[in-house]
Amino acid sequence: MAPLATLIVLFPLVGFLLVLANGTALKEKAIGIIGTTVVALSFICSVAAFFVLLHHSDREFTVKLFSWIDVGSLHVPAALLVDPLSITMCLFVTGISALIHLYSVGYMKGEKDFRKFFLYLNLFVFSMLLLVLANNLVLTFVGWEGVGVCSYWLVSYYFERPSAASAGKKAFIYNRVGDVGLLLAMFLIFHQAHTLTYLKVFYVAGTFSPTVATLTVLALLLAATGKSAQIPLFNWLPDAMEGPTPVSALIHAATMVTAGVYLLVRMSPVLTMSPDGRATIAVIGGVTAFVAATIATSQKDIKKVLAFSTVSQIGYMVLAVGVGAYAAAIFLMVAHAFFKALLFLGSGSVIHSLNGEQDMRKMGGLAKYLPYTFPTFLIGWLTISGIPPFAGFFAKGDVLTNVFQHNKPLWVLGIITAFLTAYYMTRLFVLTFRGTERFREETHGHDPHESPWVMTFPLVVLAVLSVLGGLINLPWAHSASLSGFLGPILGYVPAVAGSSTAAQWGLAAVDVVVAVFGLLAAFSIWKNITESSRYESSFLEHVWHWDDFYDATIGRPLTRLAYFSDDVIEPQVIDGAVTGVGVTVRNSAEGLRKVQSGFARQYALAMVLGFAVIMVFLVARVF
Amino acid sequence: MNVPAAWYLVLAALLFGVGAFGVLTRRSALIMFMCIELMLNAVNLTFVTFSRTLGDIGGQASVFFVMVVAAAEVTVGLGIVVAVFRRRNSTSVDELSELKG
């Protein structure tokens, strides 16, 4: 197991170093082949590690690479933890990364910074795998920051565009706020457990007092809201769509943004200790899912719709974590990775065919021009809408069934969100592929062209995965499913057994009915129109004025403070102090220089007098 | 004949006073140097006196250090005086006040 686990992490790093070291000597094609191959090799190692794991009764391997930090009572090894959770993450991260690397070869063809793009992408995969496989919080934090910085570089990839540059900064700063949470959580855990290694922390997690456990969980939640774009830190993700579309698919849909959910699931034994903390998580997740879904109904940019959809789907995962359904969260994460990567890559293919146009009002009627993109996108659309038997139906159903057991109001919110999901995805689908052709201006009168095979092949694979993804966790195959595989290592998992099979069928029926209603509603509204002030309220289009709120409460006061410092504090207080010291010294020197007369005998006299004074003092002390 | 230690000390004090008076009153650098030597040797005399009285050899050892330092100081000092004299044809210290504040 040791060599396999090491290789999973090392391959992308090797790819990064190869391309880095060979500088500009490599041609585009060679860079693409190296980048894709190393990630594919990493995927093969993950599959091998998965099968090794299946054939061991003890499903936890710690692979120690070297001792990293060894100070006092703090021992942090550079070690990897291979267990069902980390290997599940590895499988879909490397698998989807490999497909998206392949896609990027076609999508980024001829870009000025092609090499830089693959450098960052490989470094990203390395960091993500480090985050997932680390056996302690410190190493996870290294990966956490690594994916953050790669995300920053890739969002501002077109940095000549001011909007891209500022979107990168926004992503970075929002993530930094979340990182404070992770650091605080680490401090709290170290203070309580005197270790940061996961398995050792879990061993003593039961002894945490409720207050400490709740504080830790809230700190972890802050970390997750930053990285996974949840309320209150979700605004950066839509702006991150300034990056190239493969980046949106890989980092801002399938992998990195789920890191927050992964962290929460990883720390599930600590979450178990704090019912209050988990209730907060559930509320944050449910509300985010709903708010983001409402916003997605009114966006005009195809990628923005998908971005808010991602926020909403991750909200479902966080909600699942909140009610203790960790396996359901991971199931939805995997299924979401399949269909959201598919949808993003499909939208990339559409954008590619229209020479970079992203506004859905200028699309329409593309179905007959894109023979591969259209059917695969169709599958992605049905999957996310929750139509059986696609993966999304099972995954979302699993989450909602668990939520129903624990929190009825949040379940209602989840069902409304499911309706909105079907609605906005259908709107996107209709505006893009159906209706009249409105793109002639963008394509200069030509027909849109289908993308090359390197781009359509990943679409087909992801479409197949979206169709079959539900099989990994069928509700009636409990031991031979993802839940059964993950079960032993998760914290307290509430039994769904309380609900009868009939109730499960009933809940599934509700899911399907709302999804179908969503589809029909969107079809009837958007069949003939491309914009509507009635169904696209400006409040929703402007993201509930969330950015304006931050601007008014944080941005502008801080700017005012900065101007105040510049106008008053800097010239008067700081300069005043500095000049004051100078003036005082100069004035006193004016007086003191008179003493320095230049006559040696005067100095001698001063010495003698001084000596006399000292003598008198000493003599006076004796008597 | 046994001279009391106090006499030596009084002599040393007188020599020191003469030296200090010379340093403060004379203008010639050369004379000032001689006066400083006088002061140093006055101190040497007290060292030897106390060494003798207390039976401690440390005082006499100190005298050797003072002599060595004084010799080095005179060497450097006379060198400077000669150099100043060559430049200005005078050794008056009152004229050497370029460095006043």
Interface check for B30 against chain A (CB to CB < 8 A): the answer is no
User: Position of tokens 């456990």?
Assistant: A213
Residue of A nearest to B36 (CA): A604
A199-208 per-position pLDDT tens digit: 999 888 888 8
**Angle A302-322/A391-406 helices, nearest 10 degrees?**
40
Q: Is A224 exposed, middle or buried (0-12, 13-18, 19+ CB in 10 A)?
A: buried
Interface test with chain B among A590, A601, A611, A615, by most B beta carbons within 10 Å: A601
pLDDT at position A96: 94
Do residue A596 and residue B24 have CB atoms under 8 angstroms apart? no
CB A127 within 8 A of CB A150: yes
**Burial profile A517-526: b = 16 or more Cβ within 10 angstroms, e = fewer:** ebbebbeebb
> Which 8-state DSSP code applies to residue A299?
-
Report the C-alpha gap between A210 and A215 in whole angstroms: 9
Tell me which of A440 and A302 has the higher pLDDT: A302
What torsion do the CA atoms of A350, A355, A360, A363 make, to the nearest 10 degrees?
A: -80
Residues 6+ apart with CB under 8 A from B92: B27, B28, B29
pLDDT at position A477: 63
> Of A22-26, A101-105, A226-230, where does mean pLDDT reach its minimum?
A22-26
Do residue B24 and residue A594 have CB atoms under 8 angstroms apart? no
Interface check for B5 against chain A (CB to CB < 8 A): the answer is no
From residue A585, how far is each of A456, A579, A596 by CA, in Å? Answer: 76, 10, 16
Mean confidence (pLDDT) of chain A: 89
Phi, psi of B27 (to 5 degrees): -95, -30
ipTM for this prediction:
0.72
Residue of A nearest to B99 (CA): A598
Do residue B99 and residue A596 have CB atoms under 8 angstroms apart? yes
Q: Is B18 within the bounds of a domain?
A: no
A329-353 per-position pLDDT tens digit: 999 999 999 999 999 999 999 998 8
Residues 6+ apart with CB under 8 A from A402: A320, A323, A324, A325, A328, A494, A496
Phi, psi of A527 (to 5 degrees): -55, -45
Residue A102, both tokens: 């392949």
Can you spell out the DSSP letters for A178-235? HHHHHHHHHHHHHHHHS--BHHHHHHHGGGS-HHHHHHHHHHHHHHHHHHTT-TTS-T
Report the C-alpha gap between A543 and A362 in whole angstroms: 22
Q: Is B11 within the bounds of a domain?
A: no
Q: Is B43 exposed, middle or buried (0-12, 13-18, 19+ CB in 10 A)?
A: middle
**Band of the pLDDT at A497, cuts 50, 70, 90?**
very low
Residue of A nearest to B25 (CA): A601
| pLDDT of A59 strictly over 90 | no
CB A235 within 8 A of CB A547: yes
A129-182 per-position pLDDT tens digit: 999 999 999 999 999 999 999 999 999 999 999 999 999 999 999 999 999 999
pLDDT at position A479: 65
Q: Is A396 exposed, middle or buried (0-12, 13-18, 19+ CB in 10 A)?
A: buried
Chain A residues with CB under 8 Å of a chain B CB are 592-601, 604-605, 608
Interface check for B48 against chain A (CB to CB < 8 A): the answer is no
Distance from CA of A564 to the nearest CA of B (A): 43
Q: Is B23 within the bounds of a domain?
A: no
Report the C-alpha gap between B13 and B17 in whole angstroms: 6
* Amino acid residing at A135: N
Q: Please give the average per-residue pLDDT across B64-89, as a whole number.
A: 91
Task: Please tell me the pTM assigned to this model.
Answer: 0.80
A251-301 per-position pLDDT tens digit: 988 899 999 999 999 999 899 889 999 999 999 999 999 999 999 999 989
Number of separate domains in chain B: 1
Alpha helices in A22-68 (DSSP H): 28-54
Residues 6+ apart with CB under 8 A from A396: A316, A332, A386, A418, A511
Residue of A nearest to B16 (CA): A608
Interface check for B43 against chain A (CB to CB < 8 A): the answer is no
Q: Please give the average per-residue pLDDT across A488-505, as a whole number.
A: 64
> Which 8-state DSSP code applies to residue A365?
-
Nearest to A608 among B24, B27, B98 (CB): B24
Interface check for B84 against chain A (CB to CB < 8 A): the answer is no
Domain housing B54: 28-89
Interface test with chain A among B18, B23, B92, B95, by most A beta carbons within 10 Å: B23
Report the C-alpha gap between A383 and A99 in whole angstroms: 19
Q: Is B14 within the bounds of a domain?
A: no
Share of chain A above pLDDT 70, in %: 98
> Which 8-state DSSP code applies to residue A300?
-
Nearest to A599 among B25, B32, B94 (CB): B94
SS (H, E, C) A498-534: HCCHHHHHHHHHHHHHHHHHHHHHHHHHHCCCCCCCC
Report the C-alpha gap between A329 and A89 in whole angstroms: 12
Q: Is B63 within the bounds of a domain?
A: yes
Q: Is B8 within the bounds of a domain?
A: no
**Angle A84-107/A259-266 helices, nearest 10 degrees?**
170
Instruction: Give the gyration radius of chain B's Cα atoms.
Output: 17
Q: Please give the average per-residue pLDDT across A351-365, as a whole number.
A: 87
Interface check for B23 against chain A (CB to CB < 8 A): the answer is yes
CB A226 within 8 A of CB A175: yes
CB A379 within 8 A of CB A342: yes
Interface check for B20 against chain A (CB to CB < 8 A): the answer is yes
Residue of B nearest to A595 (CA): B101
Q: Measured in Å, how far apart are chain B's first and last C-alpha atoms? A: 56
| pLDDT of A29 strictly over 70 | yes
Report the C-alpha gap between A413 and B58 in whole angstroms: 98
Residues 6+ apart with CB under 8 A from A312: A288, A289, A290, A292, A293, A296, A417, A420, A421
pLDDT at position A500: 65
Do residue B101 and residue A594 have CB atoms under 8 angstroms apart? yes
- How many contacts does A have with B, using Cβ atoms within 8 A? 35
Report the C-alpha gap between A351 and A345 in whole angstroms: 10
Chain A residues in contact with B20 (beta carbon < 8 A):
608
Chain B residues in contact with A611 (beta carbon < 8 A):
none
Report the C-alpha gap between B53 and B60 in whole angstroms: 12
Report the C-alpha gap between B39 and B18 in whole angstroms: 8
Rama region for A494: left / alpha / beta (φ>0; ψ in -120 to 50; rest): beta
Distance from CA of B101 to the nearest CA of A (A): 5
Interface check for B93 against chain A (CB to CB < 8 A): the answer is yes
Q: Is B99 within the bounds of a domain?
A: no
Can you spell out the DSSP letters for A239-268? HGGGS-HHHHHIIIIISGGGHHHHHHHHTH
Chain B residues in contact with A600 (beta carbon < 8 A):
32, 93, 96
* Amino acid residing at A613: V
Q: Please give the average per-residue pLDDT across A527-540, as a whole number.
A: 82
Beta bridge pairs of residue A339: none
Q: How many CB atoms lie within 10 A of CB A530?
A: 17
User: Position of tokens 């990364």?
Assistant: A97
Q: Measured in Å, how far apart are chain A's first and last C-alpha atoms? A: 89
Chain A residues in contact with B93 (beta carbon < 8 A):
599-601
| pLDDT of A492 strictly over 60 | no
Tell me which of A284 and B97 has the higher pLDDT: A284
Whether cis (ω within 30° of 0) applies to the bond prior to A232 is yes
CB A46 within 8 A of CB A87: yes
| pLDDT of A42 strictly over 80 | yes
**Band of the pLDDT at A444, cuts 50, 70, 90?**
confident
Report the C-alpha gap between A156 and A240 in whole angstroms: 8
**Band of the pLDDT at A577, cuts 50, 70, 90?**
very high
Q: Please give the average per-residue pLDDT across A102-120, as a whole number.
A: 89
Tell me which of A164 and A356 has the higher pLDDT: A164
Nearest to A598 among B25, B27, B98 (CB): B98
Q: Is B96 within the bounds of a domain?
A: no
Distance from CA of A71 to the nearest CA of B (A): 53
Chain B residues in contact with A599 (beta carbon < 8 A):
93-94, 97, 100
Do residue A597 and residue B101 have CB atoms under 8 angstroms apart? yes
Interface check for B13 against chain A (CB to CB < 8 A): the answer is no
Nearest to B97 among A592, A599, A605 (CB): A599
